[in-house]
Amino acid sequence: MNFKGKFGPLLIAEIGGNHEGDFKQALRLTELAIESNADAIKFQIYEGDQLVSSLESPDRNKHFKKFELTVEQHIELANMVKKAGRMYIASVWDLKNLDWIDPHISIYKIGSGDLTAYPILKEIAKRNKPMILSAGLANEVEVLDTIRFLQNVNPFYKEKDNLAILQCTTMYPIKESDANLNVMETFRQKTGLTIGFSNHLEDSYGIEVAVSAGAEVIEFHFTDTRFGKVFRDHKLSYTKDDVHILIEKIKRINTLKGSYVKTPIPIEIENNNEVSFRRAVYPSREILEGEMFTSDNLTVLRPNHGIDARDFDKIIGKKAKVALAKHQKLSWDLIK
């Protein structure tokens, strides 16, 4: 399965731009992300001039230019991730970069800002690789329209295992009241596709709730430390130790969620609780031989010895073969 992780949901450590254009730092972050035991490690591939207008938004254009890595550097990072047995994922924000990075990509990630960038989505969809969409900034109609667009370009994306939709709020960081995790269930019901959560909260509680609610993909930003950093993404990023703690919490959540099949648990049976906690039919007072059983002279009590409480109505109207004591265990051979 494309969206299956070692601990349940696919855990994606998003390095993104946290290297801030420093390749040595990118290597260090990749090494730490591998050590974190995340299932996948994600980067962003872009060139400032192919992403932001230098005239309409010159400051942001300069920002992204400062964070650029070279083709060779991106390939080295991808090889490092794959050699470690992790999944390499990337958001490719420039179509001319698709050809050289495609052989390395396991899953394409579409960030919230590109949910409506149909020309880019169309070219990526032609690659016939699994895709994850973040739904920040969008309303339900826009999300469903994009899904239909992708599926019309390539029916490959009609399969649950090939397209995932992540609830996301595009702010860094967000308040808990802005997480709207219930939207995941809306996506599940409306699309039948894989659902998940892209975390922009400052702690792990949102992820824990999302996993409990059935998230199959979890994306979180990743850094070496949150201290002494200026770039906004570091503030809501996880460190290696944070991911280790998160994984232990997810294991605990999985244990608590347990099976989809409702059946008595062995410990209940071993402790005879199905008898000691359940009720049987008992005389509520002394009953004479030949006396008719009624709701006035019968009751249901623990333990479930004799005649099960579910058979109470079957006894009403019948008669006692012998005299019975109050709270005496009943059996069918005592009834006529």
> For residue range 243-278, what is the model confidence (pLDDT) as tens digits?
999 999 999 999 999 999 999 999 999 999 999 999
pLDDT digits (tens, 9 = 90+) for 132-141: 999 999 999 9
CATH 3.40.50.300 fits 4-257, yes or no: no
pLDDT digits (tens, 9 = 90+) for 20-42: 999 999 999 999 999 999 999 99
| DSSP bridge partners of 221 | 14
* pLDDT for res 336: 92
Is 90 exceeded by the pLDDT of residue 233?
Answer: no
% of the chain with per-residue pLDDT over 70: 100
**For residues 198 and 64, which has the higher predicted lDDT (pLDDT)?**
198
User: What's the whole-number mean pLDDT along residues 55-59?
Assistant: 94
Please spell the DSSP secondary structure of 58-104, one letter per residue. Answer: HHHHHHHHHT---HHHHHHHHHHHHHTTPEEEEEE--GGGHHHHGGG
CATH code for the structural domain at 266-334: 3.90.1210.10
pLDDT digits (tens, 9 = 90+) for 166-191: 999 999 899 999 999 999 999 999 99
**For residues 51 and 40, which has the higher predicted lDDT (pLDDT)?**
40
The helix/strand/coil state of 166 is: strand
* pLDDT for res 146: 98
pLDDT band for position 230 (cuts 50, 70, 90): confident
Using CA of residue 4, residue 6, residue 9, residue 14, what is the dihedral sign?
negative
% of the chain with per-residue pLDDT over 90: 91
Give 141: exposed, middle or buried? Use CB within 10 Å, 0-12, 13-18, 19+. Answer: exposed
pLDDT band for position 63 (cuts 50, 70, 90): confident
Fill in the DSSP letter of residue 121.
H
* Domain regions of the chain by residue span: 4-257, 266-334
Is 90 exceeded by the pLDDT of residue 227?
Answer: no
